[in-house]
């Protein structure tokens, strides 16, 4: 969409038969044409709807604040329809190879893209001036290796293949992992399984969707909080509020590090399931036997099935010219441009290869806008040495806080530097002179994506101002559910998610 608005000729290759990626499920059935991981029917988004929205395509006001997958898929499809994107997408096309036509000469004479049609089996080759890799970080499951897995008589699946808990009814289930999917799988299975055991080597925190009655983003994703609060104080305050909601030590979740230094489960039910003795927390896995698991403390537990919620690899095997075990080996500037591949000449870019604390899609949208600005030569990237210095600093800070994860994790507010680079950051002091109400909302409210549509390329001022100034009303409506008019003319609210 951003390429089209930048007057670039664009072709998008999509491996499956429809848009949606992870959300590509219909009618409560797993789509057999979608070979990758998918969301499960019970999934509700952890991120507040306004921070899951794209900056120029609002989520309907009367939708709930946390969207079930059905509504979010509807939202994606409405975006495609509104901007007429389908005509530019070739479906059932899997990328086999992306390689530079000439790695020696300046400019490289473009890129060769080999793609295979999954219906006919035929391969085709096209050439392009530039390539954007937007396959995401969920393309290849990460499987840990434990002693005895070959003799275990039960079943193993990865969370990317999890659908429902029906097959675990009256069985003993082990969930390995301590992040989002682990919490979802454990709570879903706890309703029907005999026992659910969750094994997280480092323990975990439980991060609720709501804190102090509002989406948790109000505690960490506002400009004023980040302007007047040090990172250390912000992290301490957030951890204190999360612990007041669910004390992880009282419930036996026992995280080994602080909230900002390790993964957490964003879930509103797991602590209730733990209190009801439906979920049991166990140590890290040491090895498997025929029908049991031995844990790191030497204890043993009978297990029938195992779900590994252990994340994903980020290797792009179709990049034939570039040796890498992970996309991050490429030294991505702002996780977009591979400084480690100088002959790419800023004509190869990556979008969405971060896992964000906050709204994922608005951040990818900012990346897309910046990439297009570079491709159009409206924005010049820093010199290679400066970009490498930025990468080194970012990676050092990330590893100091998180260790060496397979996916880099950054707060949403840290993406504002992309807006600075593009000149679309709102000047609050200037706005306050003529529109103090708008300035106050920008500063004090959560960081709504439409703030980056107030001026500059792609600005939609009137629509964006209205969304910002009237956000509090939409927040309240979304807390009630779906409004409808009853027979007597009174507006009432349906708490369900349809």
Query: What is the Cα gyration radius of the chain?
Result: 24
Residue carrying structure tokens 């951890």: 239
92 located within any domain: yes
Q: How many CA atoms lie within 13 A of 130 on its CB side?
A: 19
Residue 304 clears pLDDT 90, i.e. is over it:
yes
pLDDT score, position 414:
64
Residues 132 and 149 in one domain: no
Q: What tens digit of pLDDT does each residue of 455-468 get?
A: 999 999 999 999 99
Same domain, 158 and 288: yes
Q: Are 272 and 389 within one domain?
A: no
Residue 427 placed within a domain? no
State whether 284 and 329 are in the same domain.
Answer: no
Rounded-to-integer distance, Cα 359 and Cα 412, Å = 6
Q: Is residue 271 part of a domain?
A: yes
Please tell me whether residues 393 and 301 are part of one structural domain: no
Give the pLDDT score at 228.
Answer: 80
Q: Where are the beta strands (DSSP E) in 365-490?
A: 409-411, 482-485
Is there a single domain that holds both residue 6 and residue 91? yes
Confidence bin at 198 (pLDDT 50/70/90): very high
Residue 172 has pLDDT above 90, yes or no: yes
The answer on pLDDT for 283 being more than 60 is: yes
Are 442 and 462 contacting, i.e. CB atoms less than 8 angstroms apart? no
- Asked whether residue 405 is assigned to any structural domain, the reply reads yes
Nearest to 367 by CA among 351, 382, 381, 353: 351
279 and 344 fall within a common domain? no
How far is it, in rounded angstroms, from Cα 95 to Cα 465? 41
Q: Indicate if 151 and 260 belong to the same structural domain.
A: yes
CA dist list (Å): 369 to 253, 264, 323, 419: 41, 30, 28, 9
Q: Mapping DSSP to helix (H, G, I), strand (E, B) and coil, where does residue 21 land?
A: helix
187 in a structural domain: yes
Is 431 within the bounds of a domain? no
Question: How sure is the predictor about 494, in pLDDT bands with cuts at 50, 70 and 90?
Answer: very low
From 310, 332, 364, the end of a domain falls on 310
Burial 448-483 (b: 16+ CB within 10 A, else e): bbbbbbbbebbeeeeebbebbbebeebbebbeebbe
pLDDT of the residue at 133? 95
CA distance 469 to 439: 9
Do 125 and 171 sit in the same domain of this protein?
A: no
Query: Look-up: residue for tokens 């975006």?
Result: 79
Please tell me the distance from the alpha carbon of residue 449 to that of residue 429, in angstroms, as a whole number. 19
Phi, psi of 472 (to 5 degrees): -60, -35
Asked whether residue 161 falls in the same domain as residue 195, the answer is: yes
Q: How confident is the model over 387-443, as pLDDT tens digits?
A: 999 888 877 877 776 666 555 555 544 678 899 999 999 999 999 999 999 999 999
Cβ neighbors of 355 (< 8 A, separation 6 or more) are: 137, 407, 408, 409
- Collapsing DSSP to helix, strand or coil, 71 comes out as helix
300 strand-pairing partners: 294
* Domain end (from 352, 387, 421): 421
Q: What is the pLDDT of residue 186?
A: 97
Whole domain around residue 170: which residue ranges?
A: 143-208+246-310
The reply to whether 14 falls in a domain is yes
Task: Say how many domains are in the chain.
Answer: 2
pLDDT in tens, 241-282: 999 999 999 999 999 999 888 889 998 999 999 999 999 999
User: pLDDT tens, 199-250?
Assistant: 999 999 999 999 998 999 999 889 988 888 887 888 899 999 999 999 999 9
**Band of pLDDT at residue 36, cut at 50, 70 and 90:** low
Please report whether residue 483 resides in a domain. no
Angle at 250 between CA 247 and CA 253, to 5 degrees: 80
Shared-domain flag, residues 162 and 120: no
**What are the backbone dihedrals phi and psi of residue 115, each rounded to the nearest 5 degrees, phi first?**
-135, 150
| Contact status, residue 288 vs residue 148, Cβ threshold 8 Å | yes
Closest listed residue to residue 157, CA positions, set 363, 308, 6, 378: 308
**Any idea what the CATH number is for the domain that residue 179 is in?**
3.50.50.60
Domain boundary among 389, 421, 453: 421
Indicate the pLDDT class of residue 188, thresholds 50, 70 and 90. very high
Count of residues making up the chain: 498
- Of 139, 265, 259, nearest in space to 198 by CA: 265
- Same domain, yes or no, for 286 and 364? no
């Amino acid at each position: 969409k951003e390429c089209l608005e930048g007057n670039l000729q664009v072709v998008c290759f999509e491996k499956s038969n429809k848009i949606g990626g992870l959300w590509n499920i219909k009618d409560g059935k797993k789509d057999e044409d979608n070979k990758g991981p998918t969301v499960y029917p019970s999934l509700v988004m952890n991120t507040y709807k306004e921070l899951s929205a794209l900056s120029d395509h609002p989520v309907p006001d009367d939708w709930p604040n946390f969207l079930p997958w059905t509504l979010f898929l509807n939202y994606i499809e409405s975006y495609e329809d509104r901007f007429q994107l389908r005509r530019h997408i070739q479906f059932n096309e899997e990328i086999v190879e992306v390689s530079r036509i000439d790695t020696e000469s300046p400019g490289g004479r473009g890129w060769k893209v080999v793609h295979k049609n999954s219906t006919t089996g035929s391969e085709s080759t096209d050439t392009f001036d530039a390539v954007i890799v937007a396959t995401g970080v969920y393309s290849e499951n990460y499987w840990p290796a434990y002693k005895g897995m070959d003799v275990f008589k039960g079943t193993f699946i990865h969370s990317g293949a999890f659908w429902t808990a029906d097959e675990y009814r009256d069985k003993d289930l082990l969930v390995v992992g301590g992040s989002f999917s682990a919490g979802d799988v454990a709570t879903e299975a706890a309703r029907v399984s005999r026992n659910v055991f969750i094994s997280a080597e480092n323990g975990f925190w439980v991060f609720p969707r709501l804190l102090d009655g509002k989406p948790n983003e109000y505690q960490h994703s506002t400009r004023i909080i980040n302007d007047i609060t040090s990172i250390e104080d912000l992290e301490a305050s957030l951890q204190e509020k999360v612990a007041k909601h669910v004390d992880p030590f009282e419930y036996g979740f026992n995280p080994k590090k602080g909230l900002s230094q390790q993964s957490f489960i964003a879930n509103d039910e797991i602590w209730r399931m733990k209190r009801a003795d439906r979920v049991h927390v166990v140590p890290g896995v040491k090895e498997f036997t025929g029908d049991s698991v031995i844990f790191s403390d030497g204890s043993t537990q009978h297990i029938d099935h195992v779900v590994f919620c252990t994340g994903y690899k980020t290797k792009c095997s179709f990049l034939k010219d570039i040796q890498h075990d992970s996309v991050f080996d490429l030294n991505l500037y702002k996780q977009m441009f591979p400084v480690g591949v100088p002959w790419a000449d800023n004509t190869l870019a990556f979008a969405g290869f971060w896992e964000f604390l906050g709204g994922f899609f608005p951040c990818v949208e900012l990346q897309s806008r910046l990439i297009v600005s570079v491709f159009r030569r409206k924005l010049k990237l820093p010199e290679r040495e400066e970009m490498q210095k930025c990468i080194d600093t970012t990676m050092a800070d990330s590893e100091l806080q998180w260790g060496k994860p397979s996916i880099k994790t950054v707060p949403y507010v840290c993406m504002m530097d992309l807006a600075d680079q593009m000149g679309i950051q709102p000047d609050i002091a200037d706005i306050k002179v003529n529109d103090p109400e708008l300035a106050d909302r920008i500063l004090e409210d959560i960081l709504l994506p439409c703030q980056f549509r107030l001026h500059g390329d792609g600005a939609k001022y009137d629509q964006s101002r209205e969304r910002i100034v009237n956000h509090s009303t939409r927040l309240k409506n979304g807390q009630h559910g779906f409004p409808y008019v009853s027979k007597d003319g009174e507006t009432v609210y349906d708490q369900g998610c349809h």
